[in-house]
Amino acid sequence: MVENSQIESSIAEIRKRNGKVTNFEKNKITNAIHKALMATNQDDRDLAEELTNGVLDKLITQGFSSSHPPSVEDIQDMVESTLIEQGHSEIAKSYILYRHERRKIRDDKMKTLNTDNLDSVSKQFDLNCLRVLASRYLMRNNKNEITESPSAMFERVAILIGIGDLLHDSEIFVKNGNTSQNTEEATEYLTKLDHFDYKFKIGEYYLNKWHFRGLINGYVDLAKKGQMKIGFKELLTQLAGKKFNIYSEKINEYYSLMINQIFLPNSPTMMNAGGRLGQLSACFVLGMPDDMEGIMKSTSDAALIFKSGGGVGINYSELREEGDIVASTSGVASGPVSFMNIINSVTEVVKQGGKRRGANMGIMDVWHPDIEKFITNKTEPGILENFNVSVGIWEDFWNALVNSEDGAYTLRSTRDNSPVREINAHHLIDLIANSAWKSAEPGLIFFDKINEYNVFAKARGGPLKATNPCGEQSLYPYESCNLGSINLANLVKRKADGQYEFDWQKYEEVIRKTTRFLDNVIDVNHYPVPEINVASKESRRIGLGVMGVADLLYKLRISYNSKEGYEFMSKLSEALSYYSMEESVALAQSRDEFPLCPKTEFPDGKIPIAGYYQKPKNAHYYDWDALIEKIQKYGIRNVLTTTVAPTGTLSMIADCSNGMEPTFALVFEKRVTVGRFFYTNKIFEQVLRENGLYSEELLAKIASNYGSVRGIEEIPEWMQKIFVTAMDIHWSDHLMAQAVWQDWIGNAIAKTINMPNDVSADDVKAAYLLAHEIGLKGITVYRDGSRHKQVLHMTDENAVKTFDVSPSNYLHDYIHDTITNPYIKEQVNNALKLVVSHEEIKRPTPVVEQQKTENLCPTCKNNLVLIEGCSICIECGYSGCTSG
């Protein structure tokens, strides 16, 4: 046998399929053989390496050398012949199939991306990820042909974000400056962007004209505040003289975070950064004043936001009730719901010209005289289909519901706050629960909880009254928020025994980098409305969140709804807010605090984190008091820093589970014209293979068990405990999981509270009571099969659920130890004691029929899935929400 060192010195390069020559890597051969071994249930790395050496021997004897490098096909041919010659016919067969499948995937990728060559990102990302990128994110020409590779897209984004760092270089930026610069000199360049397309570069990264526009606008903003030491032409001179090439390292840092699937910003950033629209935020809130001029202004602004790829939340409670007198016309008001229909129509029209439709959140406060009509409005199909709707709950209503004997509650006039009529709070909550039981809407937004630790109320002159379309981001009118999510499943490292552990140090590093990333977005964003530009920069609100939580817990062998799971998630959540806020303070030291910071409660030592106040200090993992002292001394760059947003399409690109949700299903079936195949969670599949359990028959059995392994005798008990799905978890534990994250998150959580089909409206009501009691800022309940468009496609129509789910001991202990209100305790306990046998309960046939005909993605006509309150297409990545 030829020595390895001789081989490696003899063969240093390999010819790729596109004709280019690259470095020879022995390990790639070993990996391919190892995968073939695993496919035959032989997880033997040593054998793979031994067989690789045989391949290398054959290469040398066939005359390949440093002057005559082999091609990829040459090496693959050698692998096949070596396996056969050494008596491994089954492995050879597996390798041939593997090679064929790789070729097919490669061809499918090239077809999807409209290219003859795959870049490094295209090779790394799986086909589903690339389909999502192709359908929504990659640039296209006027013939609708893809003109951008995935790596070029991520580079486009990273360059724009890096400009935010460049503009704060200490040689040109001064925090407390009062230097006057000629900003008109800079803005003149906006009229000649085409002349500067790809003329400047940072290191090896060229700026296109839209990057150049971001540089101009960012410079002008800072110059108007007296923070630019030099004029714009001098800035360009220094840029041309390579004075800022060091920032190529920052660009590469942001690029690496994205291509390594560690972090992704919200969808508008990936769609529009370095592009014509240039609008990078997902979340917006507009006011809706009770006058025609204001209504039309908000409608027009909403259209501009939809056009730019954002979604809008509006609280309609200022509009007078239906039938009220309109003094200016002597007519009667048509009511808030009628004006929601206007916005709904605008959304429908505008969506036809963009990459995605706009999304809306329509809110009505519980005291509004039209509240009953609002609650029941969406129970019928075809009504306000571009809206999520939620009832805004305030403290007075909650007191009437849980503390008063008769439940009397007064609805009030929008004009003068005078009493209109009295209702019963219990009847109203029952109406909401029944509506949500039937149609999954409305949701509830607990404005009393949202404003409990709102440090911004004093600066903005009142409480928060609206959220973005998915309810996780509270905003004042004309504020926006840019979001981003860290893929926690990729922040693990292998221990000596082969098991995973979480890399806390890397988590901190990533939090700090991504906080800076999102702060930069604010400076290089091209806002669609001037008022949004002003309000967003006054607060500099960002929303750093997570995805891949369920996959992470699978890797760590931690059950999602266990005591260990809850405590681990709580620590993850606390670290996220602590390090992002600490980094925000560091940014304030170097770049300045957000403009309205002195008018907030931050200088008084208050912070917008419930866990700091509600959890004993000995239960804190981090020194929050020290952080508060830093905020008081230096200020903070962003009014809030954390939000757990929907990550539907983002998690598809990152190839991980959604947000902090449990996995939707471990296996689900897809039928195609040539047969059927199964989508399987990749971590679960690996564990099945490692334990010799993988088979098509077992996958089919799991798919027909609502995608769950519960109660399947072939699956070991330890695996059943670890690999839980959304339907394995009792609805009360869904609430508990949301609560442990909410304790430490500044904004709110996008989460669907999944309920089985057979729960009652009383269960939904109990969920509301429990949600408020454990500190949630909002709740979306989804009972399987409840919508006229069935979007929770669990499995095929023959699916059978053969297991019961019950609340965890952790949840029971929490209720016993924490809930003291007699009414709440009684209602929750009654709901949790209800035990219904689920043996052989089949999905109702009418639901299946509706699913077949109505539950289709508007883009590719495949099935939709409801996750985090959003309809997501698992094929093309279509999402009913704007952030993910």
Residue 536 pLDDT exceeds 70: yes
Angle at 360 between CA 356 and CA 361, to 5 degrees: 150
Phi, psi torsion values for 542, nearest 5 degrees: -125, 165
How many residues does the structure list for the chain?
Answer: 884
Residue 834 pLDDT exceeds 60: no
Residue 116 pLDDT exceeds 60: yes
* Residue 355, amino acid: K
Q: Using a CB cutoff of 8 Å and minimum separation of 24, what contacts does 46-50 make?
A: none
Nearest alpha carbon to residue 793 among 701, 855, 876:
855
The pLDDT confidence band at residue 23, using thresholds 50, 70 and 90, is confident
Strand, helix or coil at 829? helix
- What is the structure's pLDDT at 553? 98
On whether the CB atoms of residues 708 and 664 are closer than 8 A, the answer is no
Nearest alpha carbon to residue 456 among 323, 566, 598, 588:
598
The listed range with the strongest mean pLDDT (127-136, 352-361, 533-542) is 533-542
Segment 629-668, tens digit of pLDDT: 999 999 999 999 999 999 988 999 999 999 999 998 999 8
Decide the pairing of beta strands 778-783 and 752-755: parallel
Average per-residue pLDDT in the chain?
Answer: 88
Q: Is 427 exposed, middle or buried (0-12, 13-18, 19+ CB in 10 A)?
A: exposed
What are the tokens at 104? 């097919």
Q: How many CB atoms lie within 10 A of CB 186?
A: 22
* 560-585 mean pLDDT: 98
**Alpha-helical runs (H) found in 18-113:** 26-39, 45-61, 72-85, 89-113
**Alpha-helical runs (H) found in 125-208:** 127-136, 150-166, 183-187
Phi, psi torsion values for 444, nearest 5 degrees: -115, 140
C-alpha span between 337 and 343 (Å, rounded): 10
Active-site positions read 468, 470, 472
The pLDDT confidence band at residue 88, using thresholds 50, 70 and 90, is confident
Residue 841 pLDDT exceeds 50: no
**14, HSE (Cβ side, Cα atoms, 13 Å):** 17
Decide the pairing of beta strands 408-412 and 387-393: unpaired
The pLDDT confidence band at residue 844, using thresholds 50, 70 and 90, is very low
Q: Is 720 exposed, middle or buried (0-12, 13-18, 19+ CB in 10 A)?
A: middle
* 409-430 mean pLDDT: 95
From residue 723, alpha-carbon distances to 558, 651, 683 in Å are 9, 19, 10
C-alpha span between 678 and 38 (Å, rounded): 19
More confident residue, 638 or 21: 638
Q: At 297, which helix (H) or strand (E)? A: helix 292-308
**Percentages (nearest 5) of helix, strand, coil residues in the chain:** 50, 15, 35
Segment 263-281, tens digit of pLDDT: 999 999 999 999 999 999 9
Q: How many helices (H) and strands (E) does the chain have?
A: 35, 26
**Rounded-to-10 torsion of CA 814, 819, 822, 823:** -90
* 1-6 mean pLDDT: 49
- What is the structure's pLDDT at 535? 97
More confident residue, 491 or 788: 491
The pLDDT confidence band at residue 355, using thresholds 50, 70 and 90, is low
- What is the structure's pLDDT at 843? 33
Residue 864 pLDDT exceeds 80: no
Decide the pairing of beta strands 841-842 and 800-801: antiparallel
- What is the structure's pLDDT at 882? 59
Query: Lowest mean pLDDT: which of 22-31, 131-140, 358-367, 823-832?
Result: 22-31
- What is the structure's pLDDT at 671? 54
* 499-513 mean pLDDT: 97
* 313-323 mean pLDDT: 91
* Residue 625, amino acid: D
For the entire predicted model, the pTM comes to 0.90
Residue 1 pLDDT exceeds 50: no
* 136-152 mean pLDDT: 94
- What is the structure's pLDDT at 498? 84
From residue 331, alpha-carbon distances to 216, 268, 327 in Å are 50, 42, 7
Q: What is the crossing angle of helices 504-524 and 563-591, to 10°?
A: 50
On whether the CB atoms of residues 70 and 15 are closer than 8 A, the answer is yes
Nearest alpha carbon to residue 883 among 659, 606, 616:
659
C-alpha span between 351 and 359 (Å, rounded): 10
Q: What is the crossing angle of helices 395-402 and 822-833, to 10°?
A: 70
Residue 799 pLDDT exceeds 70: no
Query: Lowest mean pLDDT: which of 435-439, 549-553, 755-759?
Result: 755-759
From residue 87, alpha-carbon distances to 91, 92, 293 in Å are 9, 9, 82
Residue 719 pLDDT exceeds 60: yes
* 557-573 mean pLDDT: 98
Residue 801 pLDDT exceeds 70: no
C-alpha span between 200 and 219 (Å, rounded): 16
- What is the structure's pLDDT at 5? 47
Residue that the structure tokens 């370095």 belong to: 274
* Residue 178, amino acid: N
Q: Is 163 exposed, middle or buried (0-12, 13-18, 19+ CB in 10 A)?
A: buried
Longest dimension (CA), the chain: 100
Nearest alpha carbon to residue 228 among 184, 164, 171, 161:
171
My answer on whether omega of the bond before 442 falls inside 30° of 0, hence cis, is: yes
Q: Is 554 exposed, middle or buried (0-12, 13-18, 19+ CB in 10 A)?
A: buried
Share of the chain above pLDDT 90, in %: 67
What are the tokens at 462? 């009142």
Share of the chain above pLDDT 70, in %: 89
Residue 329 pLDDT exceeds 90: no
From residue 107, alpha-carbon distances to 16, 80, 102 in Å are 15, 21, 9
On whether the CB atoms of residues 440 and 867 are closer than 8 A, the answer is no
